[in-house]
Amino acid sequence: HFARAGCRWKQLSKLQRSLILLVLVICGMASYPIVTEHLRGTAPVIKHLMVRGRSHYEKPQANHKGKLSNSEASCLEAVQKAFLHSWKGYKDFAWGHDELRPLSKSYSEWFGLGLTLIDALDTMWILGLKEEFEEARSWVATELTFNKNVDVNLFESTIRILGGLLSTYHLTGDTLFLEKAKDIGSRLMPAFNTPSKIPYSDVNIGKGTAHPPRWTSDSTVAEVTSIQLEFRELSRLTHEPKYQVVVSEVMKRVHKLEGKLDGLVPMFINTNSGQFTHQGIYTMGARADSYYEYLLKQWIQGGMTENQLLADYLQAIEGVKKNLLQKSSPNGLTFVGEITHGQFSPKMDHLVCFLPGILALGAHNGLPTDHMDLAKQLMETCYQMYIQMETGLSPEIVHFNMHQGSVQDMNVKLADRHNLLRPETVESLFYLYRFTGDHKYQHWGWKILQNFNKYTKVSSGGYTSINNVRDPDYPSPRDKMESFFLGETLKYLYLLFSDDPNLISLDHYVFNTEAHPLPIWPSAT
Ligand code: DMJ
């Protein structure tokens, strides 16, 4: 497609090319396309030829000193509006199903458990959308059943379903959600019946059987170490130690394992041997990310007494500093790369953008102040991952330039240009704003929300993942709204724009990795 158009373009004379460009610029100015036009799938090839004018580096602080020009109320309203637009799509075309497919006005099923609805429950509560919440509650009361012959992923169903139900129970006091949480929690337990006590990735919640994926007996390290907040809380609420016992056993075993690099863990662990496998890659991104997050957050949840968790967290952050931190060229952005078989790779997943928030949360809880300095630097980098793209939305993965004389800080491979409406950057913006009060973080979040509205909003309802953040003329919609857009992205944006530190106080709640707030244990505060 691109190549053919490029060839034809080259065959034109200079004058012909200039004329076409002039016409395009005039047309472009006269009718700037609204987002739903981007999404109709009819963008002509010629659009790919347009010259892009975005400058690559935007000095961030310069004009962001003061408060947002919009009032707090209008920013909060903008997030409610985005939520209601998403909800309309879900309600009209995907009600009770896992995910909305907003373009085809249909749905996709992953576990068949109303994933988006459950993930969004506490968001509706926090955003004050009572009517929508009540409708969803009655679906949970009358339609939701876990007595189903389906395979679910242990990690995904723990963080989204168990986490979502537990936090909704806490916010509302409604025991319906606790009963449902107990039901799914107990149905997930067979996953822990393995020779090594490291859980399998998949459980059939109807049959009570568990198994690893078909092609391997490995589990993902981040998955088996990011279910602890939820199972520990379930034990506390039910007074049944079994849930906490199985997940704490995983942490103890991972703590003792050989094969870490200065506290950094490999990506896979074998459910038979209990050992790390496929060693050699150390990343803060996919398959390792929330291991680090849950070290810190379990320590906070339990009242900052579990010293081994803290020690592992502190060691890992030192490991990041020693092995993964570098600066980009030309603008000296601090970024977190990866180690691949002893070699540094300047690759950073958008997923890594959870890290500024976590570092800030640690510093807020008394960990070294240089964690906060690093948090601020990385926050800036994550924002640049958005703003340096033509749509102002981050790609899934960025490769940073390190050699002197580079003209831009980052490159994006063709296969990495998608944006799945992920939350990590706005999540970190929320933490940074809560702890520093610096309004620039709200400005950044506001810009990101505008860009989601411009490039991912579908007029008939919902927002969609896109394939190409580098093409504002045709971002190429993927036709899927992930449940975490409602569970996390919009919730964190709302909390970012709120000036009320008691709206989910970070001294009383700890967010699970799907943005579901769970209480810091009372004896702990
Ligand atoms: C979510 O399910 C969680 O935030 C998880 O920790 C990482 N992946 C998605 C969002 O990007």
Q: Find the Cα–Cα–Cα–Cα dihedral 423, 425, 431, 436, rounded to 10°.
A: -160
Q: Rounded to an integer, what distance in angstroms lies between the CA atom of residue 395 and that of residue 273?
A: 37
Q: What is the pLDDT of residue 41?
A: 36
Mutate to test the pocket of ligand 1, among 227, 287, 488 (most ligand atoms within 8 A of CB): 488
| Atom nearest to 222 CA in ligand 1 | 6
Among protein residues, the one with the nearest Cα to ligand 1's atom 11 is: 422
- DSSP character for 481? B
| Atom nearest to 422 CA in ligand 1 | 11
Q: pLDDT, tens digit, for every residue of 120-146?
A: 999 999 999 999 999 999 999 999 999
Catalytic residue among 349, 409, 424, 479: 424
Among protein residues, the one with the nearest Cα to ligand 1's atom 6 is: 513
Which regions of the chain are under pLDDT 70? 1-65, 524-525
155 CA to centre of ligand 1 in angstroms: 10
Q: What is the pLDDT of residue 15?
A: 55
338 touches ligand 1 (CB under 6 Å) = no
484 touches ligand 1 (CB under 6 Å) = yes
Among protein residues, the one with the nearest Cα to ligand 1's atom 2 is: 514
SS3 (DSSP) at 492: helix
| Atom nearest to 420 CA in ligand 1 | 11
Residue by residue, DSSP assigns 329-392 as TTT--EEE-EEETTEEE-EEEGGGGGHHHHHHHHHHTT--HHHHHHHHHHHHHHHHHHHTSTTS
513 CA to centre of ligand 1 in angstroms: 6
Of 487, 486, 462, 525, nearest to 36 by C-alpha is 462
Secondary structure (H, E, C), 502-515: CCCCCCCEEECCCC
Q: What is the pLDDT of residue 58?
A: 56
145 CA to centre of ligand 1 in angstroms: 24
220 touches ligand 1 (CB under 6 Å) = no
511 CA to centre of ligand 1 in angstroms: 12
Catalytic residue among 119, 132, 233, 289: 289
| Atom nearest to 351 CA in ligand 1 | 11
13 CA to centre of ligand 1 in angstroms: 50
157 touches ligand 1 (CB under 6 Å) = no
Q: pLDDT, tens digit, for every residue of 253-281?
A: 999 999 999 999 999 999 999 999 999 99
Q: What is the pLDDT of residue 69?
A: 84
- Number of Cβ within 10 Å of residue 149's Cβ equals 9
516 touches ligand 1 (CB under 6 Å) = no
Long-range contacts of residues 17-22, Cβ cutoff 8 Å, at least 24 apart: 20/46, 20/49, 21/50, 21/51
Q: What is the Cβ-side half-sphere exposure of residue 166, based on CA atoms within 13 angstroms? A: 33
Among protein residues, the one with the nearest Cα to ligand 1's atom 3 is: 514
Catalytic residue among 99, 396, 471, 473: 396
32 CA to centre of ligand 1 in angstroms: 34
- Catalytic (active site) residue 396: yes
Q: Rounded to an integer, what distance in angstroms lies between the CA atom of residue 387 and that of residue 394?
A: 8
**Residue 513 assigned to a binding site:** yes
- Catalytic (active site) residue 202: no
Among protein residues, the one with the nearest Cα to ligand 1's atom 1 is: 514
How many whole angstroms from its chain centre is CA 513? 8
488 CA to centre of ligand 1 in angstroms: 8
Catalytic residue among 72, 77, 156, 438: 156
423 touches ligand 1 (CB under 6 Å) = yes
513 touches ligand 1 (CB under 6 Å) = yes
**For residue 264, what are the CA distances in angstroms to 45, 298, 495?**
46, 18, 31
Mutate to test the pocket of ligand 1, among 283, 294, 351 (most ligand atoms within 8 A of CB): 351
| Atom nearest to 513 CA in ligand 1 | 6
Mutate to test the pocket of ligand 1, among 159, 224, 426 (most ligand atoms within 8 A of CB): 159
Q: What is the pLDDT of residue 212?
A: 95
485 CA to centre of ligand 1 in angstroms: 10
351 CA to centre of ligand 1 in angstroms: 8
Q: What is the pLDDT of residue 447?
A: 98
| Atom nearest to 226 CA in ligand 1 | 6
- Catalytic (active site) residue 233: no
**Are the beta carbons of 24 and 46 closer than 8 angstroms?**
yes
Q: What angle do CA 200, 205, 210 make, to 5 degrees?
A: 25
Amino acid at 10: K
290 touches ligand 1 (CB under 6 Å) = yes
